[in-house]
Structure 1
Amino acid sequence: MNNELDILLYGSLNMDFVSFVKQLPMTGETVAADTFLMSPGGKAANQAVASARLGAKVGLVGRVGSDYLGKEMKQALEQEGVVTDYVLETDYSETGTAVVTVNSQGENTIVTNKGANAFLSKDDITKSETILKRAKATILQLEMEQDEAEWIIQQAKNNDKVVVLNLAPVVPIRREVLGLVDLLIVNEVEAAQLTGVPVNSVGSAILASKELREIGIDNVVVTLGAQGAVLHNDQVAKQFIPPQVEVVDSTAAGDCFVAALTTFWMKTGDLEKSVEDAVLVSALSVTKKGAQTSLPTFSDYESFLERGVSNG
């Protein structure tokens, strides 16, 4: 049996409690939900499931509580084929949660509680080196402490792994550690926070990505929502435009993009084509409700292409 992995992810696992409303509530306002959904989520878990559904062999390192929600989270991951040997149970904290509200335009607000995610430690990361050695690439996000994030990046590079950093939310990673990253993925808000460049257009996204590359990062992607994404490296500084779709719920669209991009890149070695494909896959994800419930399989993606898509 081949026990090699394409991707090892580090980070958060949350149970999402999602309410769908006509409009997001104002301060002090109570609104009634049209529908409600409880669904596994968390950036790392979402990205792990998205990668697995697109055909990658995936492992995940993180923490859940030793409660009902934690057991549900692990079971859901295992059903998707994700290796959960290093998804550790924490007796002294509850599983992380996210309370999500989505309006009729697919826009959302999210309040998270770290719970057991806050207890992912450098010791956990060191012990997971066994599974890291089996992977081609690592993905991490920043729903963790700075020390842990930097330790993951350094350990991955010490093992000659491709490092994909989704710097969300922005945490002040040291410049010399950021320079070890092979691919940095940020949205327009995060790019602006990192560089001081207001990112509100394709041109400003390219300018911000150029500044980020000066840190020593070979490849930078800035996602721009309905405007798609910009890739900047030695070969290109290019926008990839998404197709026009009916937006139902944008929750986890960013996670879907990160996972799709990394999965296709590891499979093909063609980063530019992988960004193009990831823009299409994430557009497909916003046509369905929920976080992991919205993540498409590779078969879903093939059907989407066969139906034909028109760029926006």
Structure 2
Amino acid sequence: MTKREQEILIILKENPLITQQELANILGIKRSSVGVHLSNLLKKGYLKGKGYIINEAPYLVVLGGANVDIVGFTDVPLVMKDSNQGTLKISMGGVGRNIAENLVRLGLNTKLISVIGDDANGYQLKSHSQQIGLDILDSLFLKNQPTSVHLAIMDEHNDMALGLSAMDIYNQFSLAFIKKKHEILQKAECIVLDTNMPKAILDAVAANYHSQKLFLDAVAGSKALRAKNILQFLYVLKVNRLEAEILSGLTIKKTTDVPKLANYFHKIGVKNVCITLGNEGAFYSNSKINGYIKPQKISVINANGAGDAFMAGLIFYDLQNKSLKESASFGMTCAAVTLEHEDNVHPELQQKLNTQLKTFK
């Protein structure tokens, strides 16, 4: 799909009865050119007949953050309050966006609803999404606003030592906007949430669409509490050690404490819980089964997107009616593959999985 075709689809989603001349006026092009673009969209299957009805194949929706990530790497221990030598990597990021890209690379038709500005970073996000086949047409596109940026400093072990997010743009994600996406959300096979979204949005989506499978990634300790009021609606809650402690008010002093935290979430109403434990692996739990998955010994290059890959793998297997143990195990395999690449999402995820699955259990 071309950039111009994407622009036309965004307008048609808001106003499917718009005329070709009105489209031309908005886009600043000739009416005849609009006709050509609409004809191409029909041929490509994005539109079905008159009235510009958008054709939808089965899909899932990710409602979450989309950033440009700036990641700093160093080979030596960091010295606080001083300039450190290292290298910088700029890549596409955001928990929701990372999950969505992983799902696309696993072959799922995925829509990302996020917030994107009209600066150079926003252009990068839109261009990259188009290249990989990620549908962002239902996102909130804002004029004269900077796209969110996340800065991460990795330590000598390639684990994050410090992160800083500039994400004020998400405060403009309103209830009025999400109401316009009712049909999209209602028809989704499942909905994936991350806590980059404002609390009011998470509350509204959970209250109105809990009949569907709701997956939630708690993102970070500082944002985890935004999900406190919707735990009872969740089909899957994925948290790391810190996020689990903040959400539950309990402490993980040793590995045997992890099932207690999972039980806390189950009592509230969470059906399935996955707690990632860094180099100790992950714990999975529901009313029927629970257990630990040990990580594979690998050479870590970037730990920044491992949790997002875990979540995507879990979702992918769950939608194929696999058990929670199988889903979490596949998620761990996706995380292992991702840890060995410098980007937040491994660009050859599917190909690498073919070899990893033969050895990683």
| Aligned position for 2:132 | 80
**Pairing of 1:144-223 with structure 2 (within 5 A):** 144-157=197-210, 160-168=211-219, 169-175=223-229, 177-223=230-276
CA distance, structure 1, for counterparts of residue 117 and residue 343 of structure 2:
22
Q: Which has the higher contact order (CA 8 A, sep 6+)?
A: 1
| Aligned position for 1:228 | 281
| Aligned position for 1:42 | 94
2:114 to 31, 47, 62: 62
SS in 1 for 2:357: helix
Q: Confirm or deny that 1:127 pairs with 2:180.
A: yes
Contact 2:69 2:149 in 1 (8 A): yes
**Pairing of 1:290-305 with structure 2 (within 5 A):** 290-292=343-345, 294=346, 296-305=348-357
Larger radius of gyration: 2
Name the amino acid aligned to 2:225. Answer: V
Contact 1:44 1:60 in 2 (8 A): yes
Shift in alpha-carbon separation, 1:127–1:89, aligned structure 2, 3 A: same
Name the amino acid aligned to 1:61. Answer: I
> Shift in Å at residue 93 of structure 1?
2.1
Name the amino acid aligned to 1:282. Answer: A
Contact 1:24 1:101 in 2 (8 A): no
Contact 2:224 2:247 in 1 (8 A): yes
Q: Between Structure 1 and Structure 2, how many residues are aligned? A: 304
CA distance, structure 2, for counterparts of residue 5 and residue 119 of structure 1:
29
Deviations 1:120-176 (A, max 9, x none): 22122111222223321111111122111111212322xx3210011223124454x
> Shift in Å at residue 295 of structure 1?
5.7
CA distance, structure 2, for counterparts of residue 226 and residue 32 of structure 1:
26
Identity across matched positions, percent: 21
**Pairing of 1:279-290 with structure 2 (within 5 A):** 279-290=332-343
Give the ranges of 4+ consecutive aligned residues of structure 1 lying more than 4 Å apart after TM superposition. Answer: none
> TM-score scaled by structure 1?
0.91
Which structure dedicates a bigger proportion of its chain to helix? 2
CA distance, structure 2, for counterparts of residue 95 and residue 239 of structure 1:
38
Q: Confirm or deny that 1:3 pairs with 2:59.
A: no
Contact 1:249 1:290 in 2 (8 A): yes
Contact 2:96 2:112 in 1 (8 A): yes
Deviations 1:4-25 (A, max 9, x none): 3442001111101122112453
Contact 1:11 1:61 in 2 (8 A): yes
> TM-score scaled by structure 2?
0.79
Provide structure 2 residue ranges, at least 5 long, that are not aligned to the other structure: 1-44, 46-54
Name the amino acid aligned to 1:299. Answer: Q
Shift in alpha-carbon separation, 1:117–1:276, aligned structure 2, 3 A: same
CA distance, structure 2, for counterparts of residue 267 and residue 57 of structure 1:
14
Contact 1:54 1:296 in 2 (8 A): no
> Shift in Å at residue 52 of structure 1?
0.8
Shift in alpha-carbon separation, 1:225–1:174, aligned structure 2, 3 A: closer
Shift in alpha-carbon separation, 1:287–1:258, aligned structure 2, 3 A: same
2:152 to 78, 95, 100: 100
Contact 2:216 2:237 in 1 (8 A): yes
Shift in alpha-carbon separation, 1:201–1:296, aligned structure 2, 3 A: farther
> Shift in Å at residue 262 of structure 1?
0.8
Provide structure 1 residue ranges, at least 5 long, that are not aligned to the other structure: none
**Pairing of 1:25-40 with structure 2 (within 5 A):** 25-33=78-86, 35-40=87-92
Further displaced range: 196-205 or 230-239: 196-205
SS in 1 for 2:60: strand
CA distance, structure 2, for counterparts of residue 283 and residue 5 of structure 1:
29
Name the amino acid aligned to 2:215. Answer: V
